[in-house]
Structure 1
Amino acid sequence: MYNEPIFLEPVLQERIWGGNKLHTEFGYETPYSHTGEAWAISAHPNGPSKIKNGPLKGHTLQGAWEEHEVLFNRSEAAGETYPLLVKILDANQNLSVQVHPDDTYAMEKEGVPYGKTECWYVLDAEPGAEIVFGHHARTHEELRQTMANGEWDTLLKRVPVTAGDFVYVPSGTIHAIGAGIMILETQQSSDITYRVYDYDRTDEDGNARKLHLEQAAEVTNVPHEDPKNESIQETIEDLTARKLVEESYFTVYHWDLRGQAVIERKSDFLQVSVIKGEATIQTDDQTFSIEKGTHFIIPHTIKQFSLEGDAEMIVSHP
């Protein structure tokens, strides 16, 4: 039986808007001067995580999903593709304004299994930092006309954020992360993005990045409605577990550990990202050290585990 956590190696991604905080704040070896994303728990072909320990060391997460169903309690209904993707993003500059399709559109138009619903836990935000979240158009005709005219200040809704905020972003929501913000993102395992506006930026060769206004207009929810989301909190010994969202694709929690706690795994498996502090995790007779920037999966073969230390974690499952 596989009785240890599955630790994963993040995949670093270059982005025009990235900076160096993934190195300075999380200690990752960043290969680019503009490193925007760490794909921390990923089976996506554009950035597959490799397993760092145990019998599957060196294997990809997707390989484990396909070949070792027992680790995830994977049924045939779950499909051949690992369902979720966890990232850390460093927005040194504004990200492009964008929107993602739902599953039906993604399958019909792009030939991939998942659209993209996502959510963000704000790790850090400079004073005055804002996100784009939603729009003011009342009809699709108004949306298309305002986009065509480039009336972005009229169209886009901007919302201030601070560290500790949580934002749920269903597919069809126009959105963007603003400069000076770091987030941990939990999302469907999809890399489909329809870019709406990119601040007229150009790459190092002077080329503007491609926009996808027609696809964006087709998939955007009109009118925009802020999703309703209720946070629920429970205490397990010295652990405070706050449920941030529970919806059809994922459930996400913030765990605040201030001592010791024994956890009973109730879902098929758990994804865990340490965002602050350090601790130990014990499974059976093995103890592992974890710290800020550690990412791992508690497989289905582990029914119970204990935590000890002073740390915060974002935890999720399908």
Structure 2
Amino acid sequence: MLNYPIKFQPILKDKIWGGDKLVNNLNKKSNLKDIGESWEISDVEGDVSVVENGPLKGRSLKELLETYKGDLLGKNNFANFGTNFPLLIKFIDAKQDLSVQVHPNDELSKMRHNSFGKTEMWYIMQADEGSRLILGFNKTIKAEDYVKLLEEKKIMSVLNDVPVEKGDAFFIETGTVHAIGAGIVLAEIQQTSDITYRIYDFDRVDDAGNERELHTELAIDALNFSDKIDTERNYSSTKNSLNEVVKCEYFKTNFIPVEGALELDYSATDSFVIFMCVEGNATISVEGTTETINFGETILIPATAKNVIIKGDCNLLEVTV
């Protein structure tokens, strides 16, 4: 049986900059010390998600893709991606600043790493007072300026600081220099890729006294040095409606504030649907099978599902390709 709300076991990642909010606030189960990421749906090699509920419990996402093909992905998606799931879905807790980094585009990623690029978006679920993101440059610079500033440890002087609060949303195209600041919990939707070029890491060291690797040379060809990159996304919050946040060639994300009951018709949608619960809780029903979605949880709806009924009081991100 494929047509039911599918949950996956979260894949938790210990990070030098991670904290305890994914356990304490989002109810993830782990004994790891500093959990920075919860990979909710992943087809990254070595980190493939496993179903945790229903008739398909215990089967991997890759097994589902190989068995159900277009019935899971959507016919057009299967034609484009085959048995590769096109998105990586995460929750992130930054207790400390993440490294300053950039992701290469599809062309560079394919050539260098045989991978997709890494276009992504962020939805801020919680932000401590004074929290901020780094997004792009505050002035246009040249590649040689970038290298010189790195050598002089002055790269932060040309980076664009963006204060954030709960509910803010950002679209980060490949080539955009960026970092998540301390005190932020967010939902991340991205292409399936784990390719990151680390530019600057605040001279941090791990428990063994080692600094993390930087990718200065690789990043030069990947970076957009302009100061004209538009990252912030404004969106509506109409109750029981699909409010568009991001629409790009890789994914579409809508914000859905659910109040009471909402029925969604996906009969004309040739794509799987992902729901990320960013506030509250609800039940999600597909063809008579019901699953609870709580704050910090994620559900996958197969492409063959026609109708979805949501009941509760929550805010959801709806993601399709």
TM-score normalised by L of structure 2: 0.93
1:119–1:187 CA contact under 8 A, matched in 2? yes
Q: Which amino acid aligns with 1:116?
A: K
1:134 aligns with 2:112: no
Tell me by how many angstroms 1:5 deviates.
1.3
Matched, 1:162 2:162: no
Measure how far apart 1:66 and its partner are: 2.5
Task: Tell me which residue corresponds to 2:62.
Answer: 62
Match of residue 90 from structure 1: 93
User: Compared with structure 1, are the counterparts of its residues 37 and 116 closer, same or farther at alpha carbon in structure 2 (3 Å cutoff)?
Assistant: same
Which of the numbers 119, 122, 130 marks the counterpart of 1:120?
122
Deviation at 1:192, TM superposition (A): 0.6
Larger mean Cα displacement after TM superposition, 143-152 or 247-256 = 143-152
Decide whether the 8 Å contact of 1:231 with 1:245 is kept in 2.
Answer: no
Q: Is the 8 A contact 1:271 1:315 kept in 2?
A: yes
Which residue of structure 1 lines up, in the alignment, with residue 156 of structure 2? Answer: 153
Aligned equivalent of 2:17: 17
Gaps of 5+ in 2: none
CA distance in 2, matches of 1:225, 1:241: 29
On the 8 A contact 2:265/2:308 being kept in 1, the answer is yes
Render the CA deviation track for 1:185-241: whole Å, top value 9, x for unaligned: 000010011000000000001011110001111100121322267655485xx5132
AA of the residue aligned to 1:88: F
Look up the SS of the partner of 1:239 in the other structure: coil
User: Secondary structure, in 3 states, of the residue corresponding to 2:43?
Assistant: coil
- Partner letter of residue 124 of structure 1? Q
Q: Is the 8 A contact 1:270 1:299 kept in 2?
A: yes
Change (3 A) 1:11 1:230: closer
User: How many angstroms apart in 2 are the aligned matches of 1:259 and 1:79?
Assistant: 38
Q: Which moved more, 1:246-255 or 1:288-297?
A: 288-297
CA separation in 1, counterparts of 2:237 and 2:307?
Answer: 18
User: Bigger shift: 207-216 or 129-138?
Assistant: 129-138
1:109-164 per-position Cα deviation (integer Å, ceiling 9, x unaligned): 1122x011111000011111111111134322322322232212322111111111
**Residues in 2 aligned to 1:230 and 1:154: alpha-carbon distance in whole angstroms:** 25
Q: Is the 8 A contact 1:72 1:268 kept in 2?
A: yes
Identify the residue that residue 102 of structure 1 maps to in structure 2: 105
CA distance in 1, matches of 2:244, 2:225: 28
| Correspondence for 2:228 | 225
CA distance in structure 1 between the aligned counterparts of 2:65 and 2:31, rounded to whole angstroms: 28
Are 2:237 and 1:241 aligned?
A: no
Task: Determine the C-alpha separation between the residues in 2 that align with 1:155 and 1:55.
Answer: 53
1:291 alignment partner AA: N
1:230/1:118 Cα in 2 relative to 1: closer, same or farther (>3 Å)?
Answer: closer
Q: What is the rounded CA distance, in whole Å, between the counterparts of 2:249 and 2:264 in structure 1?
A: 24
**Superposition pairs for residues 251-290 of structure 1, below 5 Å?**
251-265=252-266, 266-290=269-293
Q: What is the root-mean-square deviation in Å for CA atoms of aligned residues?
A: 1.7
Matched residue type, 1:10: P
Structure 1 residue identity aligned to 2:260: G
Q: Distance in 2 between matches of 1:144 and 1:317?
A: 39
Q: Which amino acid aligns with 1:118?
A: E
1:194 alignment partner, one of 186, 191, 197: 197
Please identify, of 100-109 and 47-56, the stretch whose mean Cα deviation from structure 2 is larger. Answer: 47-56
Change (3 A) 1:317 1:184: same
Comparing 61-70 and 207-216, the one that deviates more = 61-70
- Of 47-56 and 11-20, the range deviating more from structure 2: 47-56
Name the structure 2 match of 1:179: 182
Which piece of structure 1 moves more, 197-206 or 52-61?
52-61
User: Secondary structure in 1 aligned to 2:47?
Assistant: coil
Equivalent residue number for residue 50 of structure 2: 50
User: Conserved in 2, the CA contact under 8 Å of 1:117 and 1:171?
Assistant: yes
Cα–Cα, structure 1 residues 139 and 209, in superposed 2: closer, same or farther, change >3 Å?
Answer: same
Does structure 2 conserve the Cα–Cα contact (< 8 Å) formed by 1:231 and 1:243? no
Q: Paired residues, what number?
A: 315
My pick for the range that moved more, 275-284 or 122-131, is: 275-284
